[in-house]
Amino acid sequence: MSEPHVLLLGAPGAGKGTQSKRLADAFDIEHVTTGDALRANKDMDIGHMDTAYDTPRAYMEAGELVPDAVVNEIVKTALDSANGYVLDGYPRNLEQAEYLSEITDLDVAVFLDVSEPELVERLTGRRVCDECGANYHVEFNPPEEAGVCDECGGDLIQRDDDTEETVRERLRVYRENTAPVVEHYREEGVLVEVDGEGTPDEVFEAIREEVDAAT
Ligand code: AMP
């Protein structure tokens, strides 16, 4: 039996990162995330790709999409060596969805539904460990000691793009570019919706059931 091919869709802050990691562990598949790959390579030189800016950093700090050629390449390389996978943060526009359909087949696209006020609250209060990447929230999931990671003692920082102004821009970019991707998969008949506002455990169980049902 082949391993699951899963897409996790949702706005920034919907919980794609958290739930993708859990799904990858539970099904023993690759977690393929363009956001993490770009954060690890923020200053790579993409000038030769005929882009408006020379590095991913400039796009990310503005809350804009990094050019398709850059992210398509990241995803192609990752999927070439993956058996099963959960894709997180890609595709973010219809062109990327078209490219994806040329390189792989999906079993299911899971849309995590979260209201916009909740997204803003989650993102602006988010803190991440700059050592191990663990996620916290100043109000909903604070660390034992402010500013210090419970897991590894690393410093907790706010992502450059989690400031209120950039969050608003990321949500605008989501509505304009990525919401049509959700509709595209709905029309294709592979979309399922999960309420993303339950506890992380509840959301995970709902996603797991959908993946089990589709594979
Ligand atoms: P994320 O961690 O998924 O919220 O992504 C953070 C930022 O990375 C986004 O705001 C974009 O600037 C960039 N990014 C991540 N994935 C993509 C993608 N599929 N297409 C274009 N830009 C992306």
Q: Copy the structure tokens of residue 18.
A: 């958290």
pLDDT of residue 49: 83
How many C-beta atoms lie closer than 10 Å to residue 31's C-beta?
19
109 SS3 class: strand
Active-site annotation holds for 57: no
Whether ligand 1 lies within 6 angstroms of the CB of 12 is answered as yes
Active-site annotation holds for 122: no
pLDDT of residue 47: 86
52 SS3 class: coil
- Select which of 42, 57, 159, 208 is catalytic: 159
Helices (H), the chain: 16-27, 34-40, 56-62, 68-80, 94-103, 116-124, 164-173, 179-188, 200-214
Q: Copy the structure tokens of residue 112.
A: 């995590």
Q: Is 103 left (phi over 0), alpha (psi -120 to 50) or beta?
A: alpha
Give Cα separations from 84 to 7, 68, 155 (angstroms): 11, 23, 33
Domains and CATH numbers, the chain: 5-29+83-214 (3.40.50.300)
Query: CA neighbours within 13 Å on the CB side: how many for 2?
Result: 12
Locate the ligand 1 atom nearest the alpha carbon of residue 16 and give its number.
3
Whether ligand 1 lies within 6 angstroms of the CB of 170 is answered as yes
DSSP 48: G
Q: How far is the CA of 106 from the centre of ligand 1 (A)?
A: 21
pLDDT of residue 1: 53
Whether ligand 1 lies within 6 angstroms of the CB of 196 is answered as no
Per-residue pLDDT of the chain (215 residues; tens, 9 = 90+): 579 999 999 999 999 999 999 999 999 999 999 999 999 999 999 988 878 899 999 999 999 999 999 999 999 999 999 999 999 999 999 999 999 999 999 999 999 999 999 999 999 999 999 999 899 999 999 999 999 999 999 999 999 999 999 999 999 999 999 999 999 999 999 999 999 999 999 999 999 999 999 99
Distance CA 108, CA 99 (A): 17
pLDDT of residue 25: 97
Task: Note the pTM of the prediction, 2 decimals.
Answer: 0.93
DSSP states of 136-189: EETTTB--SSTTB-TTT-PBEE--GGGSHHHHHHHHHHIIIIIHHHHHHHHHHT
